[in-house]
Amino acid sequence: MVENRESRPPQQKTPHLQHLPFTILIDKREKAPYSFHNIPADKKRGGGIYQPQTETKHLVTGDYSIEGYERKISVERKSLSDLFSTLGQRRAQFRDEHRRLSYKEFGVVVIEATMQDIINNPPPYSKMNPELVYRTVLSWSTTCRVPYFFCGDRRFAEITTFRVLLRAWQKMQMTHKFETDR
């Protein structure tokens, strides 16, 4: 019997794994850590999938950093419900964290929601006024000069966190090379 080639499913290639020369640190208090699995690598760097190493460790500021750069790089992750609860119950702590983030070369906040979600879809149990949360985010991000990235969902926030960490590491390498070439 002759097999029809068109009836066979196409063979999928196993993606090439791109190993990274750094370890992503995850704060040990992080309740829902990202795995950083299946993040597409840049085609100009050979394509495939990034395969980062991770390690859980106590971080003074933020939920994610890079080993050896904890004092320079921090990413704070917030789900929508966590943002509301933090601003309602641990506001002073979060303000202090913003101040520490502002001293970093790369200090950012990644939100697993949109600005519209903050206003139109606050957590059902929250007693926080969505307008107050929205205005606090605007105020603190501009006053402390800490960028906020509104990602819409958890997966996009995970990819954004990874891309911020990767870019920060690349920038730190360029800075180090520049300083040693002088």
- One digit per residue, pLDDT tens: the chain, 182 residues? 555 555 555 555 666 777 888 999 999 999 999 999 999 988 887 788 988 999 999 999 999 999 999 999 999 999 999 999 999 999 999 999 999 999 999 999 999 999 999 999 999 999 999 999 999 999 999 999 999 999 999 999 999 999 999 999 999 988 765 455 44
Q: What is the C-alpha to C-alpha distance for residues 80 and 157, in angstroms, rounded to an integer?
A: 12
Nearest one of 176, 172, 174, 147 to 161, comparing CA atoms? 147
Q: In this structure, are residues 61 and 29 in contact, taking their beta carbons and an 8 Å threshold? A: no
The H or E element containing residue 149 is strand 148-150
Q: CA separation (Å) from 73 to 3, 106, 165, 173? A: 56, 5, 8, 13
Supply the Cα-derived Rg of the chain in whole angstroms.
20
The token pair at 112 is 């697993």
Top-level class of domain 58-181: alpha beta
pTM for the predicted model, two decimal places: 0.86
Neighbouring C-beta atoms of residue 126, cutoff 10 Å: 16
Q: Quickly count helices (H) and strands (E) in the chain.
A: 5, 7
Q: In this structure, are residues 154 and 79 in contact, taking their beta carbons and an 8 Å threshold? A: yes
Please report which residue ranges of the chain form alpha helices under DSSP H.
Answer: 80-89, 91-102, 115-120, 130-143, 154-181
Sequence ranges of the domains in the chain: 58-181
